[in-house]
Structure 1
């Protein structure tokens, strides 16, 4: 599972580490987190390319991080519940994590996601 760093825009916070599973095929993006009961802390699913998500048939709420082409955080949709939809037109990719992870890791708009492995 690839590792990524969250480089915080403010610069005064230490980088946060994430373990991300990549979903880059149409089937993997469509399936998303369906079938998962939960996600461990610090883990997520990176959907590329993607600018919208659905939580149909999901079992738990998620935090959605929308990224631009430079992997900068454009927008965060926290606590997206089962059966909801979310969209961010300018986004190039999306990271889905368990609800509350963005707050726990202090991820905010302007932060940079950088793959390290």
Structure 2
């Protein structure tokens, strides 16, 4: 399960290399998300979260909705200026640069895991 504090970790998708992960668990970090950035190195995990928006974003993003067991419920690409509908069973949301998640093999039904980043 994701940590309950902001920080960094690694995302593991079965069959793929570890992906750098930022964790946004505080209200402030979740609200800021990817706003004001031009890209993201790896992925950003918003927890807890069930929906996202891309208002004031500078680039298109991939969004993966995860349930409480870290199983992917859905993956969507969102252009800037969009509002994503809440996912009923979603507990966490992963965000990355558009196209990245397909390259990682992230799709509905895949169960991911997180590991603390090395010190």
Pairwise TM-score range, normalised by the shorter structure: 0.7 to 0.9
Query: Where does structure 1 differ by over 4 angstroms across 4 or more consecutive aligned residues?
Result: none
Q: Please list every run of 5 or more consecutive structure 2 residues that lacks an aligned counterpart in the other structure.
A: 1-7
Contact 2:13–2:105 (CA under 8 A) maintained in structure 1: no
Counterpart for residue 99 of structure 1: 98
Aligned-residue CA RMSD in angstroms?
1.1
Q: Deviations over 1:52-97 (max 9, x none)?
A: 001010000000000000111011112x011101131210000000
Write out aligned runs for 1:13-92 (5 A).
14-40=15-41, 43-78=42-77, 80-86=78-84, 87-92=86-91
TM-score, normalised relative to structure 2: 0.86
TM-score, normalised relative to structure 1: 0.87
1:3 counterpart = 2:4: no
Higher strand residue share: 1
Deviates more, 1:14-23 or 1:54-63: 14-23
Q: When the two structures are aligned, how many residues end up with a matched partner?
A: 108
Q: Please list every run of 5 or more consecutive structure 1 residues that lacks an aligned counterpart in the other structure.
A: 8-13
